[in-house]
Amino acid sequence: MKRCQRRRLIKRRGIGLSMIAMTLALTGLMWILWTLLSRGFAVFAWDSFATTHPRLAVRRWSAQRQRRQQEFSWLSRGWR
């Protein structure tokens, strides 16, 4: 096998492997995008991006939920 042919073969293998890696990465990204669009943005806890510890995000979320329930508790009692 000549040197030029060997280089072409190695180049093609490298490009093929990089295409496989790119396809796998894009498949993962498309899966994330599909999940985001199909389930909606409400699935993601946006507080987790702003806090340093996940438990803090849960505490904030539950505190916000309790505040909302207190604010709108008059709806469950009805109009007076």
pTM: 0.47
Q: If you compute the radius of gyration of the chain from its CA atoms, what whole number of angstroms results?
A: 26
Model confidence at 30: pLDDT above 70: yes
Amino acid at 3: R
**52 and 24 within one domain:** no
33 shares its domain with 51 = no
pLDDT one-digit tens code per residue, 2-26: 999 999 999 999 999 999 999 999 9
Q: Residue type for 19, please? A: M
Amino acid at 24: L
Which residue range is the domain that position 67 belongs to? Answer: 45-80
| Same domain for 36 and 3 | yes
Question: What are the DSSP calls for 19-80, one per residue?
Answer: HHHHHHHHHHHHHHHHHHHHH-GGGS-THHHH-SSHHHHHHHHHHHHHHHHHHTHHHHH---
- pLDDT cut 90: percent of the chain above it: 35
**What pLDDT is attached to residue 20?**
97
Do residue 32 and residue 16 come from a single domain? yes
Identify whether residues 58 and 72 lie together within a single domain.
Answer: yes
- Say if residue 26 is in the same domain as residue 49: no
